[in-house]
Structure 1
Amino acid sequence: MNTLRTTLPRTTSRILRTTTHHPIAAFSTTLPRHQSGTRNPPSPPPAEAAALANTKANAPASTYLGTTKRLPEFNLVDKVVLVSGAGRGLGLVCAEALLEGGAIVYALDRLPTPSPDFSRVQKRASSELGTSLHYRRIDVRDVDSLNDIVASIADAHGRMDGLIAAAGIQQETPALEYTAADCDEMMSVNVTGAFMTCQAVARQMVRYGGEGRKGSIVMIGSMSGSVANKGLICPAYNASKAAVLQLARNLASEWGQYGIRVNTISPGYIVTAMVEALFVQFPDRREDWPKQNMLGRLSAPEEYRGAAVFLISDASSFMTGADLKMDGGHSAW
């Protein structure tokens, strides 16, 4: 799910990239242009508008997770949730779980075309789950476009309920050889980018926050934000994930007054296509990594589905400023 490249002449650097969707811009307390009333955000395409109008028509409510008789606090029906990095990988897996809960989901990704599995999930949303999955291509370093897209989604539904910020990059390079440019890119994507994405969504949550409506933001952190990974040389990545955990606590403290909760998920090692490629290059990791946690195995992206639904839904209504660590006990030794 990420591309592999060599970045330094004297050492092999492995760049593990998920899609990035975050703007590189300074924080500003000034609301974006679309909130001033001087601009009208674009309307959804006719075909999409029709799909939205018929979002519940294809499946009975009894198929939704969390009905009035089945854990109603997990019910996401009618909620509008954005997932950055959902063109593929962990973001797409979380998006599908939200759809199963009944949410209307928008994937934000810089990919020209999402992964082939996206089409399967999109068809399942409409044919089996009575909801819809939409794709918005955006490089969120274009802050104006990011804010316009988020505003147009909120305006189309008259609400904004949730965000899973799942985009980020990873680079493995010894600290003595890390370049300033690579470090700046890591922080701009994983920290500033995550911040700006949360800000764009939170503004719409505040804007449409009447009638007791609340919002939930989930930022994907990492166990690497709490520990230094033995045998994995990622100094800037680990620092960026530590910053994400602290950022979430601060956003939670500021936005709680608006009914917006902000939490993080800290995964352990996840077996992805890119990690499988690394195991070919470094076969010792396939054997060593599972030994570093209490369950003696690595995780799959699907094991984080439940956590995503839990944190977005009212099942976690009194949880904010917290980190949900899911690392198989790796950091609890």
Structure 2
Amino acid sequence: MIGTVSVRPTRLALLARNFTYSFTGLHKFNSSIDSVPSLSSRKFSSASPTLVNSQNPGSGPRLQPKKPLDVISEEKGGGISRIDEDISIEYPEDTGLPRTPIIQGRGGRHFKRTLAQFSLEDKVSVVTGGASGIGLALSQSIVASGSHLAIVDMNRKLIANPRYLVQKIIKTNYHNVDDEAQIQAKTLLEQFKSENPGLEKLPTVTAHYADVSNPASVDDAIADIIAKQGKIDNLVTCAGFTENFSAVTYPYDRMQKLWGVVVDGTYLFTTGVAKHLIKRQASGSMVVIGSMSGAIVNVPQPQAPYNAAKAAVRHLAASLAVEWATHDIRVNCISPGYILTALTRKILEENFEFREKWVSLIPAGRVGMPEDLMGPVTFLLSDSARYITGADLRVDGGYTLT
């Protein structure tokens, strides 16, 4: 049918491009890649497009699909890109998650040359949420890059799992340690020492308590860091968590808690450290950990409050970057994609179908690891990024590109 109609080449090219795009999009979002044939091999039946000019039928042909093609979206389309409101996942108690291990082989002397600008030598860096997950990996990268470190966490008591605690105490000889931040601070330093034998100057690694959603607690933590470390140069805000409830069933008190940790916590720590830097008339660098969820809507799990909170964090970073530029304080955002932390692993183990759906939408073909964020955060904190502020660096395997 198409071959018998005379159409100007430019319009024919445009039509071909539009239909190729349509079928490519349908192909991409279908759960079975083989279920949609390519345009070149597709045989049009009675539902094939016909050539009609709806405005003036006698003036020339125009390609227009018939009804059966129109109803594809109603019958089959969009399924993989929709929220499943039946999914409900509450953030577990901290004692229900295994301790995050220190990543092996990430310190040590470098035998390959790199720019001196990447060094964080003699800086003091603060990481909130630094005792586990992404925060612990970032803490380790900061120490490996030459910085002193202050880990801020909720100091979770480990008495809920006494057998594991006893094993840990015996292994590390820390007989009086009962909170996670202190254990991880000492373990991290021991790991650094083992990978740098004979190193005369070791970094100072301290542990501090803070409820990041509480202004007085944040002020106390910052004062404690300054008292023990002498100053603060860099900040990474990594404290946060996510839960999955449909918007109409999300418990309001839990939503308030999430926003308190993610949004209020980021605001309170960034402004608190900024006050210290401005008072010292010192330059500084901050990296807030956002999420790709601040720019897209994750599927199939519902998490509207988390998505909105991370969008707020991303724009807060941009706003503070402009406001504090005159003080030589840089503020950037890193937006990770799916990262395989202890929490993510637990979710995937209990909801195996998530992994297939998530990975199918990631061009890189895999879920990220915490160490995938070690280089980006070091770069943004260091002088190698001294002309970068207000940026949002997405580390998501290409998820948000498609």
TM-score band, normalised by shorter chain: 0.7 to 0.9
**Contact residue 208 and residue 225 of structure 2 kept, 8 A:** no
Among 73, 88, 94, the residue aligned to 2:117: 73
Among 180, 186, 189, the residue aligned to 1:114: 180
Larger radius of gyration: 2
How far 1:316 moved relative to its partner?
Answer: 0.6
AA aligned opposite 1:87: A
What SS is found at the alignment partner of 1:176? Answer: coil
The residue number in structure 2 matching 1:99 is 143
**Contact residue 87 and residue 301 of structure 2 kept, 8 A:** no
Partners in 1 of 2:321 and 2:90 — Cα distance? 31
How far 1:156 moved relative to its partner?
Answer: 4.5
The alignment status of 1:182 with 2:249, answered yes or no, reads no
**Contact residue 130 and residue 136 of structure 2 kept, 8 A:** yes
The alignment status of 1:267 with 2:267, answered yes or no, reads no
**Contact residue 336 and residue 394 of structure 2 kept, 8 A:** yes
The aligned runs of 1:195-214 (5 Å cut-off) are: 195-209=267-281, 213-214=282-283
The residue number in structure 1 matching 2:243 is 171
How far 1:283 moved relative to its partner?
Answer: 1.1
The residue number in structure 2 matching 1:16 is 91
**Contact residue 217 and residue 261 of structure 1 kept, 8 A:** yes
The residue number in structure 1 matching 2:397 is 328
AA aligned opposite 1:323: D
**Contact residue 124 and residue 231 of structure 2 kept, 8 A:** yes
What SS is found at the alignment partner of 1:219? Answer: strand
What SS is found at the alignment partner of 2:231? Answer: coil
Structure 2: gaps of 5 or more residues: 1-84, 95-107, 157-178
What SS is found at the alignment partner of 1:15? Answer: coil
Moved more, 167-176 or 152-161: 152-161
Q: Residues 225-284 of structure 1: CA distance to partner in whole angstroms, max 9, x if unpaired?
A: 000012121010001000111111111111111110000000000112222222222111
The residue number in structure 2 matching 1:132 is 204
Among 149, 153, 159, the residue aligned to 2:231: 159
The residue number in structure 2 matching 1:123 is 190
The alignment status of 1:216 with 2:288, answered yes or no, reads no
1:243 and 1:142, CA in 2 relative to 1: closer, same or farther beyond 3 A? closer
How far 1:197 moved relative to its partner?
Answer: 1.1
1:233 and 1:78, CA in 2 relative to 1: closer, same or farther beyond 3 A? same
Q: Residues 268-313 of structure 1: CA distance to partner in whole angstroms, max 9, x if unpaired?
A: 0011222222222211112221111111111000110001100111
AA aligned opposite 1:230: V
**Contact residue 213 and residue 260 of structure 2 kept, 8 A:** no
The residue number in structure 2 matching 1:86 is 130
The residue number in structure 2 matching 1:30 is none
**Contact residue 158 and residue 208 of structure 1 kept, 8 A:** no
Structure 1: gaps of 5 or more residues: 1-9, 20-61
Partners in 1 of 2:220 and 2:110 — Cα distance? 31
Partners in 2 of 1:154 and 1:187 — Cα distance? 27
**Contact residue 218 and residue 268 of structure 2 kept, 8 A:** no
RMSD: 2.4
**Contact residue 88 and residue 118 of structure 1 kept, 8 A:** no
Q: Residues 163-214 of structure 1: CA distance to partner in whole angstroms, max 9, x if unpaired?
A: 00000121100112123323222222211121001111111111222xxx41
Partners in 2 of 1:157 and 1:95 — Cα distance? 15
Among 265, 269, 275, the residue aligned to 1:193: 265
Moved more, 276-285 or 117-126: 117-126
1:326 and 1:12, CA in 2 relative to 1: closer, same or farther beyond 3 A? closer
**Contact residue 224 and residue 241 of structure 1 kept, 8 A:** yes
The aligned runs of 1:179-328 (5 Å cut-off) are: 179-209=251-281, 213-328=282-397
Partners in 2 of 1:253 and 1:311 — Cα distance? 16
1:330 and 1:70, CA in 2 relative to 1: closer, same or farther beyond 3 A? closer
TM-score when scaled to structure 2? Answer: 0.64
1:138 and 1:254, CA in 2 relative to 1: closer, same or farther beyond 3 A? same
Partners in 2 of 1:177 and 1:126 — Cα distance? 49
The alignment status of 1:148 with 2:148, answered yes or no, reads no
Partners in 2 of 1:173 and 1:321 — Cα distance? 31
1:188 and 1:235, CA in 2 relative to 1: closer, same or farther beyond 3 A? same
What SS is found at the alignment partner of 2:321? Answer: helix
What SS is found at the alignment partner of 1:83? Answer: strand
